[in-house]
Amino acid sequence: MSDAALDAIDWPPAWPRVLDAEFGPPTPGDYRASPEDFRVDEVLDFVPEGEGEHLWLFIEKRDQTTAMAARELARLCGASPREVGYAGMKDRVAVTRQWLSVQLPGREAPEGLAEALGERGIRVLDQGRHPRKLKRGVHRANRFRLRITGAAVGDPALEARWARLVEQGVANVFGPQRFGLGGRNLLRARALLARGWRKRDDRDGMLLSAARSFLFNEGLAERIRDGSWHRLLPGEVAILDGTASQFTVELPDAELEARAARLDLHPSGVLWGLGDSVAVGEARARETHLPERYPGLCDGLERAGVRLARRALRLRLAEPELAPGEDELWLSFTLPRGAFATGVLRELIAHPTL
């Protein structure tokens, strides 16, 4: 498929599911009928130190993006939006809990700040001072609690599919929200890269991310089709579960294959950019297919100076729970930062947005 073929893609693309070969397609189901059906709790490994020029607030928001809550906090504090920090972007149609920070050097928070935020649907659950701004990506994970309804709830295969995901892991696909409605973020990224990227605002960085995410999903889809998405190939770059540590596997041996089967380590795919991949052999050859199919996106990312990186092809579902109810199922699980709960849902139910 050439770059021009992006125009013909139906969104979301029909990237393969890992469980269809064993169970067939999933039964239709519904999720996120209301924000209360999709709950997310950000997991940090530390708390504010208690002093410093940055006020950190642990908030609960409903039906709002993280950017919307950040802008409201900046406005109420008389601060620039750039002085507000957060670790990760959370879904809008959801009830989410996360930390925000705002720089208030030499001054206290405005009187009645918590009440004013509450009037705008943002509850302050905790707060404290810290010397530094909250930076993107410093959280360890997100805890999800999701409600499923519809025909899939009565299908015994759903619980079997869930058990299989818990056992073998989940494909680490970027969710459809990364690409925007109808894939418009990706199409805008193609246009931006074609004319030469330079950062004009934060949205341009989001477009670069959409292009890299699409290329990663394409590479992951190829590994799902041939059944190698969860096993190590010769020359694979393995990533240790729950960490950024990685190493190249010249030739997988019995011990490494056993560790992969236990979900201790995972194969990885490339997040395209400038630089040389450390994969070798068969695994390296898989990555060369991307610039052959999408030369415009790959070349544009390199010219933009984005550095090549890697992402695990597979995730472990931490603390998995399934709770049946009357005409509903509740799923709970923890995923590392950067992972998408929709990647779990798409394996369990058929839904037009997945």
Residue carrying structure tokens 């950190």? 56
Report the alpha-carbon angle 153-154-156, nearest 5: 100
The strand ranges marked E within 219-353 are: 236-240, 246-249, 265-266, 268-271, 309-312, 314-315, 318-325, 328-336
Which residues are CB-neighbours of 200 under 8 A, at least 6 positions away? none
Tell me if residue 278 falls in helix, strand or coil: coil
Alpha carbon 118 to chain centroid, angstroms: 28
- Cβ contact 140:43 at 8 Å: yes
C-alpha pair distances (Å), 77 with each of 1, 89, 105, 107: 50, 21, 11, 10
Q: Which two tokens stand for residue 16?
A: 């393969």
Catalytic residue among 20, 37, 63, 91: 91
Tell me if residue 318 falls in helix, strand or coil: strand
226 catalytic? Reply is no
Spatial separation of the C-alpha atoms in residues 224 and 185, rounded to whole Å: 25
Which residues are CB-neighbours of 41 under 8 A, at least 6 positions away? 96, 97, 98, 142, 143
C-alpha pair distances (Å), 137 with each of 2, 87, 321, 329: 33, 5, 26, 31
Catalytic positions, please?
91
